[in-house]
Amino acid sequence: MKAFMKYLLLLIIPGIMAGVLTISCTEDDLPNGGTPVIYYVRVTNPEQSDSLLVAAYMGNLIAIVGDNLGGVREIWFNDQEALVTPTYVTSQSILVTVPNTPPTEINDKMTLVFSDGYVLEYDFRVDIPGPLLSSIKSEYVEDGDIAVLYGDYFFEPILITFGEEQLEAVVDEIEKTELRIIVPEGASTGNITVTTNFGSATSSFLFRDNRNILLDFDREMYTCENWTGEIAYADSAPDLEPCSGNFLMLRYQGLEAWSWQNPLACFYLAKNKRGDIPVAEGSIYDLDFRFEVNVPNEWTQFTMRIWFSIYEDGNGFSDHFHDISTQAWWRPWQEGAYSTDGWETISIPLTDFKYDKDGGASQIDDLSELTNVCVLIFSGDTGPEDININIDNLRIVPK
């Protein structure tokens, strides 16, 4: 701040002194006969006063240096007007902030309008980043429903397309860091692309990612054992809109500490289903465990334990399993009571599978040996608590 004030005084005081010394001068005595002129644009830091600019980002403070600039009334960057602060204006310089609103029409000009109607144009570009598409609230959304995209630099006009077919989505709401869009009819598995006047971004995630589905609760070979959590069927789900077909309900009233309840478990046993097929291939450093979750009521305690076990295991909780299992402990309530507004996609890096059953350090050594999928709400928390956690589309996919 001190450096800025020092620079401002260096700009303003010479202008005041020039006004005092030339008050009796005629227009012909002024530089260029009184015609406004811009010599250059530079940064405002006095320690970098030799750093000249041909462009700046939105929101940047810049110094316009020239002569006969005191009569300026308007400054435009492309088609966006900047705020002119009289105390920041002298005959030789102007301090102005590049507008934060992105232009609709781009001419790469800075335009100064003076009190006598004179217009001065100067080549100057506003650098605006292309859109950044970082994530989606839920990778599974039905046609015609609202999908929520997160990122940055979402500026109108904007185009959102789905998949190789480039199906265009209708924008419901737009903010700089969030887009609400209507999923187009006929959308299928694929990337989403966001395009603005300033560039394009294609998602690293896949919409309706169907790679390496372990459990979807729709197909016989992709569902859990019938003695564990209850399946909600899409055509008769009791109280939630489905995510994509059937889903698993993990529900229990008044769960107590260290209480094993089958309705809060999900066990997929490969020997009863698809056989000796590994849960995934590749390095744990390159993969995420991913699923959709819907938690309508606040969840404040108890841990969701997730693990994979070997083909020989019976129910996954034999003594042998205890010796080799590596678990992820998902506890989103650690930062405050957790609930969701509808379905959300959760990603857990396989490197976060790092606990043994007692919370000690562990690590997955070889995915090729693991075939079973296990989820359990269980922990030594105080209780009691009513549990209502719904999940779908368990999968292991590239990051």
- 18 with 76, same domain: the answer is yes
Amino acid of residue 134: S
The answer on 123 and 108 residing in a single domain is yes
Shared-domain flag, residues 271 and 394: yes
Judged against a pLDDT cut of 90, whether residue 102 lies above it is answered with yes
Which CATH number belongs to the domain containing residue 196 in this structure? 2.60.40.10
Is the pLDDT confidence value at 320 over 70?
A: no
| pTM of the entire predicted model | 0.83
Closest of 246, 205, 202, 243 to residue 223, by C-alpha: 246
Task: Please report, as a single letter, which amino acid is at residue 108.
Answer: D
User: Is residue 192 located within the same domain as residue 237?
Assistant: no
Find, among 180, 221, 385, 233, the residue nearest to 303 by Cα. 385
Please give the residue that has the higher pLDDT: either 371 or 319.
371
Q: What angle do CA 300, 306, 308 make, to 5 degrees?
A: 175
The verdict on 147 and 109 lying in the same domain is: no
- Asked if 99 and 152 sit in the same domain, the reply is no
Looking at the structure, tell me whether residues 240 and 365 fall in a common domain: yes
* Burial readout 248-279 (b: 16 or more C-beta within 10 A, e: otherwise): bbbbbeebeeeeebebbbbbbbbeebeeeeeb
Split at pLDDT 50, 70, 90, the class of 23 is very low
Backbone angles phi, psi at 243, to 5 degrees: -85, -55
Distance CA 22, CA 20 (A): 6
Query: Would you say residue 207 lies in a domain?
Result: no
Q: How many CB atoms lie within 10 A of CB 206?
A: 17
Residue 388 domain-assigned? yes
Q: Are 122 and 112 in contact (CB under 8 A)?
A: yes
Say whether both 284 and 377 belong to one domain: yes
Same domain, 298 and 356: yes
φ/ψ (deg, to 5) at 396: -120, 120
pLDDT-derived band of residue 46, with 50, 70 and 90 as boundaries? confident
How many domains are there within the chain? 3
| Same domain flag for 248 and 365 | yes
Considering 202, 223, 245, which residue would you say is the last residue of a domain?
202
| Domain contains 87 | yes
Instruction: Map residue 110 onto helix, strand or coil.
Output: strand
Whether residue 208 is contained in a domain is answered as no
Give the domain range for residue 387.
213-398
Indicate the residue among 63, 97, 127 that finishes a domain: 127
